Structure 1
Amino acid sequence: MKKILVPMDFSQCAINAMRVAKELAKKLHCPIELVTSIHMPHLHAQTVGADSVVQPILSEYSHQIDENYRDLYEREGLNEIEFETKKFNSSVQNAIYSCIEQGDVGLVVSGTKENHDILEKILGGHTVDFISISKVPVLVIPEKVNHLEVRKIGLALNLEEEVQLDKLELVREFAKLFEAEINIMFIGAESEKRYIYDDNKVKLAEFFGDINNNFVNVKEHMDKSGKKILELVDELQLDMLYMHPKHHKLLDRIFRPSLTKQIAMEVDIPLLSVHE
């Protein structure tokens, strides 16, 4: 792990995500980068008095952010880890993307609200929207979670596709870090070709050979509501869920809601997303 990035707007869910990131940073011996976005409108250069309006506001926002970070440093014991802060005058997504493009971020840990309004459920909040495009793994922390106690990790895998083992390296890392059990949930109808299932099962059994693991077969189609996955989270008493969102074209993203995003809006345990 190179660096853990935490989007910080000083809300309770962002602070809880930072607490989780701090735990991981201690265990993984890596630094944290706290990123804050100031999203101010960009006025046209020819607008009379634009600078005189925007600059004082930016300066005030920047000063307030510095004050919030000083308070956070004292309350949350940030002196226990290596960390840095960054401020951007951009959208949250662009700020995170800029940090990732530097190439030293290995994981994004981001909080999400417990309750979402109708528009957020349709479009997705900042965090759940970002997991669809992130080049690095994203750990989504529900608002009520402020501490990681991982005993069981669930993998929601689709029988219709070949498993990409390289995307599961971080799952192995977490399982070893917390001495957790792996529950591999194969979801697919009985009509699925058996050789795909058998091949995937052999690969996964070898990949997680040094970790306590078991297989859970669900003979249903992987529907877009995520209902069956959410039921399994409760039945298996999972502490963390892994999903692997796929890259979709623009029209698909508009008319076919992402299963991973849907789960992220509903699940009450941390969700680890590793994009293809």
Structure 2
Amino acid sequence: MKKILIPTDFSACAKSAEKYAMYLAKKMDAELVFLHIINTPIDWSKLTKEQENFFPETQSAIAEAKANLKELIKDAEELGISARKILVYNDGNKKIHKFVEDEHIDMIVMGSHGTYGFREHMLGSNTYGVLRRSSVPVVVIKENNKKMNLNTLVFATNFKEETGESFKAVEKMAESLGVKLKVLFVNTPTYFMETNDILSIGKEFLKEFGTYNHEIHIIDAFKEERGIIQFAEKIKADGVAVITFGKSDLMQYFSPSITENLIAMADFPVFSILKTKK
């Protein structure tokens, strides 16, 4: 992984993501790309300098954004990290995916307050929108994140064959980050299985899709999210990786994903990998 995208609005929440992204970039020797989107009242690229003067508030917002981006690049370069900026006028969330493709991005790091409300959940915030559609791993950082090391990463899985290709992506990501993967199966009352059956299915899954030898960890919990958090806290993990199943914003409202629930419930970094196909 050689290029990390950080969409930012310069908020306290975004600053946590920026700081964590710098840590990851240093760890992986990757380049940082800071992206800021300004919603302008008119197509700014078509205005002359004189016409821009009719929108002083927008001018001020653009000047402030440029200054903030310049400061971020300075902070990164002082740490020995290569960095650059992208400032986009009058666009929205879907544009982020265009930059992922055009810029050959390998990972996205975003901040999130991790709270739900009817409006935010129904419409989808920038972070949740990216989670559901991103073709590359997305790392979500909470504003109060205290995990600034990444040595152990819990990977929660159900060992279903349809997630096999995504597991390969998780292993590849872990290799790039130089972290230890702890493979976890959460045994819930709804989908209860006996331990020997879990181990048997898990071993077959890892044999087919895994590259490295992984110990299979099992925890019993009422809900997948609770089990993941409890296990991560027990072993003092530095983050959690999960496979996210892309859904429309409407479907997510009626059936929130485990990934989104984890973001809402946990304080540690959450690494999301969209389920992929062969």
Shift, 1:112, TM fit: 1.6
SS state at 2:182 partner: strand
Moved more, 168-177 or 146-155: 168-177
Shift, 1:181, TM fit: 3.1
- Confirm whether residue 8 of structure 1 aligns to residue 36 of structure 2: no
Paired position in structure 2 for 1:81: 81
CA–CA distance in 1 between the matches of 2:108 and 2:78? Answer: 18
CA–CA distance in 2 between the matches of 1:257 and 1:193? Answer: 28
Number of paired residues?
Answer: 264
Paired position in structure 2 for 1:237: 236
CA–CA distance in 1 between the matches of 2:78 and 2:58? Answer: 26
SS state at 2:144 partner: coil
SS state at 1:130 partner: helix
CA–CA distance in 1 between the matches of 2:156 and 2:76? Answer: 34
Moved more, 171-180 or 79-88: 171-180
Contact 2:73 2:85 in 1 (8 A): no
CA–CA distance in 2 between the matches of 1:147 and 1:238? Answer: 9
Moved more, 101-110 or 125-134: 125-134
Shift, 1:33, TM fit: 0.8
Identity among equivalent pairs (%): 22
Give per-residue Cα distances to partners, 1:156-211, cap 9 Å, x unaligned.
Answer: 1125x226343234533454456543221112433589778624323426766646
CA–CA distance in 1 between the matches of 2:103 and 2:164? Answer: 22
Distance 1:179-1:76 versus aligned 2 partners, 3 A rule = closer
Contact 1:158 1:222 in 2 (8 A): no
CA–CA distance in 2 between the matches of 1:255 and 1:192? Answer: 30
SS state at 1:268 partner: coil
Match 1:200 to one of 179, 202, 219: 202
Paired position in structure 2 for 1:268: 267
Contact 2:182 2:216 in 1 (8 A): yes
Paired position in structure 2 for 1:105: 105
Contact 1:153 1:180 in 2 (8 A): yes
Paired position in structure 2 for 1:48: none
Paired position in structure 1 for 2:47: none
Any unmatched runs of 5+ in structure 1? 44-50
Distance 1:93-1:194 versus aligned 2 partners, 3 A rule = farther
Contact 1:37 1:95 in 2 (8 A): no
SS state at 1:80 partner: coil
Contact 2:13 2:142 in 1 (8 A): yes
Shift, 1:144, TM fit: 2.5
Distance 1:110-1:146 versus aligned 2 partners, 3 A rule = farther
Moved more, 214-223 or 14-23: 214-223
* TM-score under structure 2 length normalisation: 0.78
Contact 1:13 1:113 in 2 (8 A): yes
Alignment of structure 1 residues 6-155 onto 2, 5 Å: 6-42=6-42, 55-78=55-78, 80-102=80-102, 104-113=104-113, 116=115, 118-119=117-118, 122-123=121-122, 125-145=125-145, 148-155=148-155
Give per-residue Cα distances to partners, 1:241-263, cap 9 Å, x unaligned.
Answer: 01111133565333212221111
Give per-residue Cα distances to partners, 1:79-110, cap 9 Å, x unaligned.
Answer: 72222111112455133122123150110011
Contact 2:73 2:84 in 1 (8 A): no
* TM-score under structure 1 length normalisation: 0.79
Distance 1:56-1:70 versus aligned 2 partners, 3 A rule = same
Paired position in structure 2 for 1:218: 219
Moved more, 59-68 or 200-209: 200-209
CA–CA distance in 2 between the matches of 1:265 and 1:6? Answer: 20
